[in-house]
């Protein structure tokens, strides 16, 4: 059933800052963002940094950077759990007072031996409740445990998976405050979700086993239960959980590889969600169409080919002028720039011409380089196949005609090709290929006349001369391995 349009919806993205923003986390952030925007609600950003050993400042910065790059804005926060420690202790003492929590001073070695014993008997290693009625003195070192209600089935209606039921008998009396006064993960999450008035908890289904632990805590705090939605896992192509083994998982690594954020967002949204057969969505469409009804419950498989396809689409669709800064960033400082490279309009022209055949910004930068810098390299395979003695007369005749031209226009160049083609009995394609390799160093490029116009006469002549020389020299096999 579609959720009503409801501006009181409050969702949150709650990353633990123990690494980069990875694809799964970014998808969770995106789904929360889209729901908040779709329903006119509020997105809260909460940094779950109570695990002090694993949480780092760099990771916080990396997560914020990743969200910024994907253009996922939030409305409240970031709130840091480490700044709310007093609040967790305050609510823990409320639970202690009303009997929902108790002190436990079981020494670690006792717990360990009981755990080992349970495992030996094939039983789940739960805490046996030894301290439940012992009234441990507050002066002794102790933890606080939650008194999980006995034999009360925990049922909730997951917005994606439907009704789920857990037997509370399998749940532990979990620790909510450690000996050092720091709350445990499940407790801090509930206190925050209550205080931040979260109405919908949308998170990865790696948390599905935490939900039955958290629900009794909401109840004990006398707070209304939020709705829960657990997003299906993301698998790698081999159908195991997506991990580093499958390639880059950090969002910013995709930026490094030359992906556009719009492409990644469009890719991530389709990991689990669909809208009819549509594959490409503008941000406005996503906000307009997104809801949880069309999030499936089966795992999605990460498909790098499809991501590349989307990226190629977005590159093609982006005005050249907007791609210029990205291409600049993807290139090393130009060692020997062409005179045209000082003209911003030249960059835009080159990029507009080349973007249609580039799958990544990196590809685009490599395609653009021969039109920006003198130092273009020739792909050894292209040289071996195309810059051959058989093609030297093509290069020579065209060079001579280029030199004789009064003007350097599409029309004059077309005439040159027509005349030389006639005299050598060759078709345009046969003439174009050696020229293409000479100018760009590659066997694929835009149309040959665009290439010649973008490069300009001076560069064309210099490169044709070099190519002519190479075509006459024997080819050294070692170069293919260079
Ligand atoms: N901090 C948890 C994580 O990064 C998410 C907790 C939650 O969404 O409830 O996986």
- CATH code for the domain in which residue 453 is found: 1.10.10.350
CA of 325 to the centre of ligand 1 (A): 35
For residue range 399-432, what is the model confidence (pLDDT) as tens digits?
999 999 999 999 999 999 999 999 999 999 999 9
pLDDT of residue 480: 54
Rounded to the nearest integer, the mean pLDDT of the chain is: 94
Atom of ligand 1 nearest to the CA of 15: 4
pLDDT of residue 465: 97
For residue range 448-475, what is the model confidence (pLDDT) as tens digits?
999 999 999 999 999 999 999 999 998 7
Domain boundary among 371, 388, 413: 371
State the CATH number of the domain containing residue 121. 3.40.50.620
pLDDT at 247 over 90: no
Distance (Å, rounded) from C-alpha 12 to C-alpha 49?
A: 15
Give percent of the chain above pLDDT 90: 89
Q: Is the CB of 438 under 6 A from ligand 1?
A: no
Tell me whether residue 480 is in a domain: no
Tell me whether residue 408 is in a domain: yes
Tell me whether residue 213 is in a domain: yes
CA of 212 to the centre of ligand 1 (A): 15
Q: Is the CB of 17 under 6 A from ligand 1?
A: no
pLDDT of residue 123: 84
Helix axes 448-455, 410-424, angle to 10 degrees: 120
pLDDT at 3 over 80: no
pLDDT of residue 1: 47
pLDDT of residue 5: 58
CA of 155 to the centre of ligand 1 (A): 21
User: Which residues are annotated as catalytic?
Assistant: 244
Give the residue, 369 or 152, on which the prediction is more confident: 369
148: CB partners within 8 A, 6+ apart: 168, 171, 172, 173, 174, 213, 216
Q: Is the CB of 198 under 6 A from ligand 1?
A: no
pLDDT at 246 over 70: yes
Distances from the Cα of 349 to the Cα of 99, 340, 343, 346, 371, angstroms:
73, 11, 10, 5, 10
Peptide bond into 252 cis (omega under 30): no
Q: Which of 48, 54, 51, 40 is nearest to 11 (CA)?
A: 40
CA of 152 to the centre of ligand 1 (A): 25
pLDDT of residue 482: 44
pLDDT band at 172 (very low <50, low <70, confident <90, very high): confident
pLDDT at 213 over 70: yes
Q: Is the CB of 48 under 6 A from ligand 1?
A: yes
CA of 16 to the centre of ligand 1 (A): 6
Tell me whether residue 2 is in a domain: no
Cβ–Cβ < 8 Å for 233, 25: no
Same domain (yes/no): 101, 221: yes
Closest residue by Cα to atom 6, ligand 1, is 14
Same domain (yes/no): 90, 196: yes
Atom of ligand 1 nearest to the CA of 48: 1
359: CB partners within 8 A, 6+ apart: 308, 309, 311, 312, 315
Tell me whether residue 479 is in a domain: no
pLDDT at 71 over 90: yes
Estimate the share of the chain in helix, then strand, then coil, as percent rounded to the nearest 5. 50, 10, 35
Range of the domain at 345: 318-371
DSSP state of 184: P
Same domain (yes/no): 172, 101: yes
pLDDT at 187 over 90: yes
pLDDT of residue 66: 98
Q: Is the CB of 21 under 6 A from ligand 1?
A: no
Q: How many separate domains does the chain show? A: 4
Atom of ligand 1 nearest to the CA of 203: 8
What average pLDDT does range 118-129 have in this prediction? 87
CA of 189 to the centre of ligand 1 (A): 8
pLDDT at 320 over 70: yes
Same domain (yes/no): 44, 59: yes
pLDDT at 233 over 90: yes
Tell me whether residue 182 is in a domain: yes
Q: Is the CB of 203 under 6 A from ligand 1?
A: yes
CA of 92 to the centre of ligand 1 (A): 20
Same domain (yes/no): 174, 99: yes
pLDDT of residue 415: 97
Same domain (yes/no): 92, 196: yes
Same domain (yes/no): 150, 262: no
Give percent of the chain above pLDDT 70: 98
Distance (Å, rounded) from C-alpha 452 to C-alpha 213?
A: 68
Q: Is 419 left (phi over 0), alpha (psi -120 to 50) or beta?
A: alpha
Q: Is the CB of 22 under 6 A from ligand 1?
A: no
Q: What is the best residue among 14, 82, 217, 228 to mutate for testing ligand 1's pocket, by most ligand atoms within 8 Å of CB?
A: 14
Tell me whether residue 312 is in a domain: no
Same domain (yes/no): 136, 50: no
Please report which helix (H) or strand (E) contains residue 43, including its range. strand 42-47
pLDDT at 199 over 50: yes
Under DSSP, is residue 92 helix (H, G, I), strand (E, B) or coil?
Answer: helix
Atom of ligand 1 nearest to the CA of 28: 8
Same domain (yes/no): 147, 220: yes
Q: Is the CB of 18 under 6 A from ligand 1?
A: no
Same domain (yes/no): 224, 120: yes
Tell me whether residue 103 is in a domain: yes
pLDDT of residue 445: 86
pLDDT band at 4 (very low <50, low <70, confident <90, very high): low
Same domain (yes/no): 226, 88: yes
pLDDT of residue 460: 97
Same domain (yes/no): 21, 97: no
Distance (Å, rounded) from C-alpha 41 to C-alpha 35?
A: 8
Under DSSP, is residue 160 helix (H, G, I), strand (E, B) or coil?
Answer: coil
């Amino acid at each position: 059933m579609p959720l009503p349009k409801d501006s009181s919806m409050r969702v949150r993205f709650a990353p633990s800052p123990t690494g980069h923003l990875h694809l799964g986390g970014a998808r969770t952030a995106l789904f929360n963002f889209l729901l908040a925007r779709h329903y006119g609600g509020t997105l809260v950003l909460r940094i779950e940094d109570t695990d002090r050993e694993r949480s780092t400042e760099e990771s916080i910065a990396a997560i914020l950077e990743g969200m910024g790059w994907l253009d996922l804005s939030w409305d409240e926060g970031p709130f840091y759990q480490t700044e709310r420690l007093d609040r967790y202790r305050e609510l823990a003492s409320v639970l202690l007072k009303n009997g929902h929590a108790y002190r436990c001073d079981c020494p670690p070695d006792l717990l360990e031996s009981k755990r080992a014993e349970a495992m030996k008997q094939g039983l789940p290693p739960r805490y046996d409740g030894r301290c439940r009625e012992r009234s441990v003195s507050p002066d002794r070192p102790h933890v606080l445990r939650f008194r999980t209600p006995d034999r009360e089935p925990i049922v909730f209606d997951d917005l994606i998976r439907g009704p789920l039921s857990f037997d509370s008998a399998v749940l532990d009396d979990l620790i909510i405050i450690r000996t050092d006064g720091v709350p445990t993960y499940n407790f801090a999450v509930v206190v925050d979700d209550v205080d931040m008035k979260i109405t919908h908890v949308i998170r990865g289904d790696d948390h599905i086993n935490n939900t039955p632990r958290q629900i009794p805590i909401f109840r004990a705090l006398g707070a209304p239960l939020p709705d829960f939605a657990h997003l299906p896992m993301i698998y790698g192509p081999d159908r195991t959980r997506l991990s580093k083994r499958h390639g880059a998982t950090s969002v910013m690594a995709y930026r490094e590889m030359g992906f556009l954020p719009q492409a990644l967002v469009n890719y991530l949204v389709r990991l689990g969600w669909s809208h009819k057969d549509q594959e490409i969505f503008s941000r406005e469409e996503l906000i307009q169409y997104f809801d949880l009804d069309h999030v499936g419950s089966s795992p999605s498989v990460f498909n790098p080919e499809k991501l590349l396809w989307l990226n190629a689409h977005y590159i093609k669709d982006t005005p050249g002028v907007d791609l210029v800064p990205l291409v600049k960033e993807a290139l090393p400082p130009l060692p020997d720039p062409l005179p045209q490279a000082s003209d911003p309009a030249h960059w835009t022209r080159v990029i507009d011409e080349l973007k249609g055949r580039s799958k990544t910004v990196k590809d685009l930068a490599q395609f653009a380089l021969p039109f920006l810098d003198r130092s273009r390299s020739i792909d050894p395979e292209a040289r071996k196949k195309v810059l051959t003695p058989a093609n030297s007369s093509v290069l020579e005749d065209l060079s001579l005609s280029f030199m004789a031209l009064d003007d350097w226009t599409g029309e004059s160049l077309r005439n040159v090709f027509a005349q030389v083609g006639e005299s050598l009995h060759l078709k345009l394609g046969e003439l174009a290929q050696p020229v293409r390799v000479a100018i760009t160093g590659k066997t694929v490029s835009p149309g040959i006349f665009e290439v010649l116009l973008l490069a300009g006469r001076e560069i064309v002549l210099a490169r044709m001369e070099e190519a002519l020389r190479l075509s006459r020299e024997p080819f050294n096999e070692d170069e293919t391995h260079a």
